[in-house]
């Protein structure tokens, strides 16, 4: 596939910046459209031009010679969730996808679009309010407003918006890499380096540059004896974003955790990799006391606001439960 097959207008070639667009571009790709078109209807996203990428040959899930998996950016969430390789070797990803949105939305939503879906912060989605992410420098209405659903990890004085995706949390625990084709060529970025903390520029969410197209997501080969779980806690059991979620990929040998990867959702400004929890667990017996100690470590740096302080304990309990499920004997 050649990126040049997509004609890029002069504004993108010149690297023109839009004041609000996530990718800093006035021209946007549309895949499933379930997020971009939604936001265009709300006047939150106002691209000058939208390019439909659905005709690109990026809709396959393929086994790699090294045993890993290559997922095309246009693979629908429902197809990915039910892919036999994913169900067997990457259960955490299948479970995360099936916990998101609705069957109809999952039939439209794509891997690339899910990676880049934007926050559900109510002030971001309503142009009547101040929002540094949508309108840099305007302020943050959520700080002293409704922030029950927003983040407690990775926040800044400028923004406390949560990354809303379930899939991203599973991909974080799986140590996925993102393949990108852009004006300067192809590059690969580990998911742990793909998202940017809000800092003073919450309008910039990823390392993508104008004109960059996500082509694939790659998963490493599964480790023998590894089990994985995605657990999502929310206000209702379907059609609802996470208040807290946990993705665990764990290998237990002789009763101890020889390897564990932890992703947290619903609590981070980016899909949250908890290296603190991983370090607290690796080499230790898989038991309740160690799970709780790992959860304490994971949330140690949390900065809650009054309305979302409950998330700190909720996230800890979610992680403890996910670890219990991932390591129990079957």
Write out the residues near ligand FAD by the rule CB under 6 A. 22, 28-36, 38, 53, 73, 100-101, 105, 108-110, 112-114, 116-117, 164-167, 213-214, 241
Figure out which of the listed residues 23, 115, 152, 161 binds ligand SF4, where binding follows CB under 6 A. 161
Site string for ligand SF4, 162-201 (x = CB under 6 A): ----------------------------------------
Cα–Cα distance measured from residue 46 to residue 65, given in angstroms and rounded to the nearest whole number: 42
Figure out which of the listed residues 45, 78, 112, 123 binds ligand SF4, where binding follows CB under 6 A. 123
Closest approach, Cβ 125 to ligand SF4, in A, equals 9
Closest approach, Cβ 283 to ligand FAD, in A, equals 33
- Nearer Cβ to ligand FAD (208/281): 208
- Nearer Cβ to ligand SF4 (95/165): 165
Report which of 246, 211, 269, 238 is spatially closest to residue 326, judged by C-alpha positions: 246
Cα–Cα distance measured from residue 253 to residue 311, given in angstroms and rounded to the nearest whole number: 32
Query: CB under 5 to 8 A by kind: which of ligand SF4, ligand FAD, none does 117 bind?
Result: ligand FAD
- Nearer Cβ to ligand SF4 (99/119): 119
C-alpha pair distances (Å), 272 with each of 57, 108, 116, 167: 31, 26, 15, 12
In this structure, what token pair is assigned to residue 323? 């670890």
Residue 160 touches ligand SF4, criterion: CB under 6 A:
yes
226-233 sheet: strands from edge to edge? 226-233, 244-253, 256-265, 272-273
Given a contact cutoff of 8 angstroms between Cβ atoms, the answer to whether 210 and 15 are in contact is: yes
- DSSP class per residue in 2-28: -GGGSPPPHHHHTT---SS-TTS-SEE
Query: CB under 5 to 8 A by kind: which of ligand FAD, ligand SF4, none does 243 bind?
Result: none
Neighbouring C-beta atoms of residue 139, cutoff 10 Å: 13
- Nearer Cβ to ligand FAD (117/327): 117
Reported as type and span, the H/E element at residue 33 is none
Residue 132 touches ligand SF4, criterion: CB under 6 A:
yes
Cα–Cα distance measured from residue 177 to residue 189, given in angstroms and rounded to the nearest whole number: 6
> What is the gyration radius of the CA atoms in the chain, in angstroms?
19
- Nearer Cβ to ligand SF4 (146/239): 146
Reported as type and span, the H/E element at residue 208 is none
In this structure, what token pair is assigned to residue 27? 């021209």
- Nearer Cβ to ligand SF4 (177/308): 308
Query: CB under 5 to 8 A by kind: which of ligand SF4, ligand FAD, none does 140 bind?
Result: ligand SF4
Residue 159 touches ligand SF4, criterion: CB under 6 A:
yes
Residue 241 touches ligand SF4, criterion: CB under 6 A:
no
Cα–Cα distance measured from residue 104 to residue 25, given in angstroms and rounded to the nearest whole number: 29
Query: CB under 5 to 8 A by kind: which of ligand FAD, ligand SF4, none does 31 bind?
Result: ligand FAD
Cα–Cα distance measured from residue 126 to residue 138, given in angstroms and rounded to the nearest whole number: 13
Beta 272-273 vs 256-265: how paired, if at all?
antiparallel
Query: CB under 5 to 8 A by kind: which of ligand FAD, ligand SF4, none does 119 bind?
Result: ligand SF4
Residues at the contact surface with ligand SF4, assessed by CB under 6 A? 119, 121, 123-124, 131-133, 140-142, 150, 159-161, 202
């Amino acid at each position: 596939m050649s990126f040049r097959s997509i004609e890029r207008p002069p504004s993108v070639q010149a690297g023109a910046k839009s004041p609000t667009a996530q990718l800093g571009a006035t021209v946007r790709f549309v895949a499933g459209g379930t997020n971009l078109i939604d936001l265009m209807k709300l006047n939150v996203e106002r691209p000058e031009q939208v390019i439909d990428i659905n005709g690109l040959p990026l809709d396959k899930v393929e086994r790699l010679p090294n045993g890993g998996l290559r997922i095309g950016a246009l693979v629908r969430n429902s197809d990915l969730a039910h892919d036999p390789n994913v169900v067997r070797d990457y259960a955490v990803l299948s479970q995360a996808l099936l916990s998101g949105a609705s069957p109809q939305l999952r039939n439209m939503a794509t891997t690339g679009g899910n990676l880049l879906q934007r926050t559900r912060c109510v002030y971001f989605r309503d142009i009547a309010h101040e929002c540094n992410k949508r309108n840099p420098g305007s302020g943050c209405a959520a700080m002293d407003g409704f922030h029950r659903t927003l983040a407690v990890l990775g926040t800044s004085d400028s923004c406390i918006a949560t990354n809303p995706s379930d899939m991203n949390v599973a991909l974080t625990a799986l140590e996925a890499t993102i393949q990108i084709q852009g004006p300067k060529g192809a590059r690969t970025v580990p998911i742990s380096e793909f998202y940017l903390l809000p800092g003073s520029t919450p309008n910039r969410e990823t390392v993508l540059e104008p004109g960059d197209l996500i082509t694939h997501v790659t998963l490493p080969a599964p480790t023998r004896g590894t089990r994985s779980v995605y657990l999502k806690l929310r206000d209702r059991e379907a059609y609802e974003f996470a208040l807290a979620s946990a993705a665990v990929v764990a290998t237990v040998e002789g009763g101890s955790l020889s390897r564990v990867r932890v992703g947290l959702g619903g609590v981070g400004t980016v899909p949250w990799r908890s290296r603190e929890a991983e370090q607290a667990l690796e080499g230790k017996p898989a038991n309740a006391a160690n799970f709780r100690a790992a959860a304490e470590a994971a949330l140690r740096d949390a900065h809650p606001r009054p309305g979302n302080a409950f998330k700190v304990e909720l996230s800890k309990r979610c992680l403890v439960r996910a670890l219990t499920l991932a390591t129990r004997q079957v």
